[in-house]
Chain A
Amino acid sequence: MTRSILLSTALVSLFALPAMAQDKENFAASGATGIKLKVSGQVNRAMLFTDDGNNSDTFFVDNANSSTRFRFTGSGDLDSDTSLGFVIETQIQSNSSTDVNQNNRTTNNGATFTERKMEVYIDSKTMGRVTLGQGDMASNGTSETDLSGTSVIAYSSVEDMAGGLFLNDKTTNTLLPIKVGNVFNNYDGLSRRDRIRYDTPSFNGFQLSTSAGDNGRYDAAARYKASFGDIAFDSAVAYSNDNNDNDTYNGSFSFLHKVSGISLTAAAATVDLDNSADPRDPLMYYVKLGWQTKDMTAYGATAFAVDFGYNEDTLTADDESKSYGIFVVQNLDRVGTELYAGVRNYEYDAPGATKYDDMLAVMAGARVKF
């Protein structure tokens, strides 16, 4: 019942948007005293073809690189320096590309909403921002800086394309209880949690953040972005501790040569496991070379990229995971849309007698934003 009410409310809101937009003048008010409410979101659907070495499958998925979602944000000025606001962001995924697999081609049939952000904040231009509620921990996103323009289909979280698929035993031709998502990880900090977070103001492109979350989680991050002539640079590093347990050190950077459109992106992470009996020493690195141009079509920028991702000690000691792919994204600026396609191969190897088939994934789809 509650779900029905939520769905109805959301649908009524969405269908009412164009009419509300036309009547915007009736709502708008000038000056700094207004409370601003924004509605935004996206639908991101794709077809996913996979070949596990024994069988091929086709899925109709919600692209987990950037899930279908919508959000409401509100803000108002307390005075000339300080504002208050909130964020509510929820996602609705049917057949997430990290859930579907050879045995389960349909997931989340009820298509329920799942929480992403529910937070309030107070923001001072001189003192920084304090945020309370569920949202990004300070370290979230620090493995994922990327200026290639292809992140809707490929970024350092390489498993988002087909993470739910089971690997195939090369010798016996049977599916193993190991998913692609079990052997790749970009160790992108502590994700979204219920927490309190503080961000400093940005000083010449530098910004520091820290947060403390439920179950003793805490982290800290530094971000820097700048332009040097024709070069745009974006970077982040973080330390995080999950449940007073494992220590994660991670970071990423991305260069974009604005004139040529050529970009270079890299990320790396290591985890210091708290359990001394665990022989693993997890490591991840990722590199991507991209090129984007606005001169290929009149619709918007076209972006190409090739990437390579590497993990070791992810599932068992001395295991190795490699992934590489090639991707293209076509922006359609007038309708807030990206068309995309890509091919990715996953390889896994671990000590022991078991030999693993590669997993090939091909995805094509569209992300429509509003």
Chain B
Amino acid sequence: MHAKIPGRFLSRAAGLAVIVILSGCANSTPIDPEDVSRPDQIKAGPGLITGSEGEFSVEIKRPS
């Protein structure tokens, strides 16, 4: 026989979980939205080829 878990208990537990998560997040390092990968975006990641510069880029001087 299974003990019935009351809905009131579940809602209190969910509320407590949210409070705990928010408390834990209060002193966390802020997220910069510009660093967040967006769908279908290929913003170059730093490091693999070009170090911290991100995209590989060459600037070609126009002949004077």
Contact = CB atoms under 8 A, between A and B. Distances in A.
Contacts of A369: 42-45, 48
Nearest to A73: B55
Contact of B28 (A21, A29, A144, A259): A259
Contact of A39 (B28, B48, B55, B61): B55
Contacts of B30: 230, 258-259
B42 A69 contact: yes
A203 interface: no
A200 interface: no
Given A260-B25, A262-B25, A335-B47, A71 B42 contact: yes
Given A333-B46, A336-B44, A37 B31 contact: no
- Of B26, B28, B39, which is in contact with the most chain A CB atoms at under 10 Å from its CB? B39
B5 interface: no
Contacts, number: 148
Contact of B47 (A39, A145, A333): A333
Contacts of A256: 31, 33, 36
Interface string B20-54: 01100110111111011111101111111110000
Given A40-B55, A141-B39, A260 B22 contact: yes
Contacts of A349: none
Contacts of A21: 49-50, 56
A294 B50 contact: no
Contact of A370 (B40, B50, B59, B60): B50
- Of A69, A155, A256, A370, which is in contact with the most chain B CB atoms at under 10 Å from its CB? A370
Given A149-B37, A234-B33, A370-B44, A38 B56 contact: yes
Given A66-B42, A232-B33, A262-B22, 18 more contacts: A34-B62, A37-B59, A37-B60, A40-B42, A42-B42, A66-B40, A76-B62, A151-B40, A259-B26, A261-B31, A292-B36, A293-B25, A293-B28, A293-B31, A294-B28, A295-B28, A336-B46, A368-B45
Interface of A: 17-18, 20-21, 24, 27-29, 31, 33-42, 65-66, 69, 71, 76, 89, 141, 144-149, 151-152, 155-157, 227, 230, 232, 234, 256, 258-262, 291-295, 301, 333-338, 368-370
